[in-house]
Amino acid sequence: MVYSDANTPQPVFSSFDQLEPEVVVIDVSGAVVHPGVIEVLSNQRVATAIEKAGGFHTEADEAYIQSTLNLARVVSDGEKIYVPFEGELAAQQALVAAQVADDPLNSFAVNSSSTTTGGISLNTATASELMELKGIGEKRAEDIIAGRPYSTVDELLKQSIISESLFNSIQSELVL
């Protein structure tokens, strides 16, 4: 038999090691079969949340799903996952561009060349494109994507996605 004494190291377990996944509540909306508030475990992924909402609607924007929606990301409590319908983002961008172009107080009217070269689009940029902005890491990029669609750049502040100081430093690089 082997006996242990007080000098023998004992394994150390933190409370983190023993945590069980919690139930979190998220809002899944847009082009899913059953949009609404659902419950999933805190260690589950966006793909699971989409499945619990009935899967993608037949008219979901496949380009957005393939290029922007990170199905492997772990969900967090209180988050919103929005899946746009096909053509929805393009229609919103056209509407916003027309509104901005018609605004005589706007010092930089948006036209087709400025939206492609004038900055990073809040509504269509991938997480890696958003992370090119100074101060935007993976988590913030995912938060920006989760808050879509945006009708103004200022919504980043209104939704408390980024701080005012960070917003002021990157605002000139953002477009819708």
Q: For 55-71, how does the pLDDT look when each residue is reduced to its tens digit (9 = 90+)?
A: 999 999 998 899 889 99
The pLDDT assigned to 143 comes to 87
Mean pLDDT for the stretch of residues 137-165: 86
The pLDDT assigned to 24 comes to 94
pLDDT, tens digit, 9 for 90 and up, residues 58-116: 999 998 899 889 999 999 999 999 999 888 777 666 666 666 655 555 544 443 333 44
Which residues are CB-neighbours of 127 under 8 A, at least 6 positions away? 68, 70, 138, 141, 142, 145
CATH number of 88-175: 1.10.150.320
CA distance 53 to 29: 8
pLDDT, tens digit, 9 for 90 and up, residues 116-128: 446 888 888 888 8
Q: How many CA atoms lie within 13 A of 31 on its CB side?
A: 20
**Which DSSP helix (H) or strand (E) runs through 80?**
strand 80-83
Q: What percent of the chain has pLDDT over 70?
A: 74
Q: Contact at 8 Å (CB) between 4 and 56?
A: no
Q: Contact at 8 Å (CB) between 79 and 146?
A: yes
In one letter, which amino acid is 66? Answer: Q
Give the start-to-end residue ranges of the domains of the chain: 23-83, 88-175
CA distance 37 to 25: 7
The pLDDT assigned to 8 comes to 58
**Lowest pLDDT segment from 38-52, 85-99, 156-170:** 85-99
Q: Which residues pair with 37 in a beta bridge?
A: 27
**Lowest pLDDT segment from 19-28, 47-56, 100-109:** 100-109
The pLDDT assigned to 175 comes to 87
